[in-house]
Amino acid sequence: MSAAVPSSSNELQAEAFKRLYPNEYYAKFISKSLRPDGRPLGGARATTIGIHPLESTNSSALVKIGNTTAMAGMKLQHFAISSDQPVEGDLAVSVEMAAFASSETRPGRQSEAAQCVQEQIRTALRSAGAVELGELAIDKSHAWAVFLDIYVLNADGSLLDVCLLAAVSALLGLRLPHVEVNDQGQVVTKAEMGGSAAEVRRFGLKTVPMALTCGLYSGHLIADPTSEEETLAASLVSTIVDASGCIVGLYKAGGSATADEGMLLQCIEATKIRYKELMVLLKQALAEKGIQDTGI
């Protein structure tokens, strides 16, 4: 018995070439200023944002950039502020890879990549002042603790970009229920106090941070790399900027290649351009759910 011969042996050869010599395969594309998926070097993948896909959460967002997918969800809890603490709420961010996100992830411990992304998002939201924790206070003695949990469902490169976009989308969709603290010190909704239940408070962001990851490949800058491109790239640079174009975070975690100042400036410029694209999509997605008063 002979093995079945595929009708298009050219296609088979291309596939075999890609498997055996991934670097040469990729270099052929780059020399023509193209990428295997048809994108130009500076082009990002198609992006979709869905707001509030889950009903069990206080707010949620599903974001897809190319094949990379992340689902962010938020849960509200409340706590009594102790007297020596400032009158403000709390925001906890966690990023977890779903076990099926990639072939390397296994159930159990949080992966290193997820931990990195978690810290970068936490810093972008908290230290850079995007989230005003004072706004999360209910009264002088009680405040909201917001748990923002992000699951990476499909990891095909540029995790930070997708997770951060999911995080800010969910934050912008968050409504804080109108509550009061009753005589017993319990937090109850307005409805339970005899008011209207429909009253909610929108939670605003002072500024919306967004990220773009770029790969450095033999002197070329490749925007929004896939996981295949990430393994081929000599180094990765992730930039987070806010609406005014200020840098909120810039990460170049080692890699086998160094980047000069010109390269980094190019990365920052590319991120600013991508920011405008993403903002249009984000506003559209929010408007679809009737959310317009976000002040972004």
Partner 1 sequence: MNREVPSVPFNEGDRPKEVLKGGTRLDGRGFEVFRNVFMKPGTLSQAAGSAYAEFGNTKVIAGVYGPRESERKEAFSTEGRLQCDVKLASYSRRERKAFGQNDEERELSAQMQTALEAAVRLHTFPKANVDIYCLVLESAGSDLAVCICAASLALADAGIEMEDMVSACSVSRVDGHLLLDPTMDEAYREDGSALLAMMPSANAVAQVVLTGQWSNAQASEVLQLCMGGCAQIDAYMRQCLKEAAA
Residues that bind partner 1 (CB under 8 A): 54-57, 60, 67, 69, 71, 73-82, 85, 90, 92, 94, 96, 98-103, 106-108, 110, 144-145, 147, 149, 151, 153-156, 177, 179, 187, 189, 197, 227
26 vs 144 by CB, closer to partner 1: 144
- Nearest approach in angstroms of CB 89 to partner 1 is 9
The dihedral of CA 255, 256, 259, 263: what is its sign?
negative
Closest distance of CB 5 from partner 1, Å: 20
Q: Which is nearer to partner 1, 142 or 252 (CB)?
A: 142
**Encoding tokens for residue 153?**
């469902």
Closest CB 116 distance from partner 1, rounded Å: 17
Helix axes 112-122, 159-172, angle to 10 degrees: 50
Q: With respect to partner 1, which residue has the nearer C-beta, 94 or 235?
A: 94
Minimum CB–partner distance for residue 82 and partner 1 (Å): 6
Query: Can you say whether the dihedral through the CA atoms of 77, 80, 83, 87 is positive or negative?
Result: positive
We find the least distance from the C-beta atom of residue 81 to partner 1, in angstroms, to be 8
Residue (76 or 211) nearer to partner 1, CB? 76
Which amino acid, 40?
A: P
Please identify, using beta-carbon distances, which residue of 57 and 266 lies nearer to partner 1: 57
Q: Using alpha carbons, list the distances in angstroms from residue 53 to 34, 97, 149, 198.
A: 35, 19, 14, 20
Shortest CB 68 distance to partner 1, Å: 9
CB 195 → partner 1: shortest distance, Å?
13
Nearer to partner 1, 17 or 100 (CB): 100
Separation CA 16–CA 245 (nearest Å): 44
Burial 24-46 (b: 16+ CB within 10 A, else e): ebbeeebeeeebeeebebbebbe
Is the CB of 76 or the CB of 130 nearer to partner 1? 76
For 287, half-sphere exposure in the C-beta direction (CA atoms, 13 angstrom radius) is 7
**Minimum Å distance from CB 83 to partner 1?**
11
Decide whether 13 or 189 has the Cβ nearer to partner 1: 189
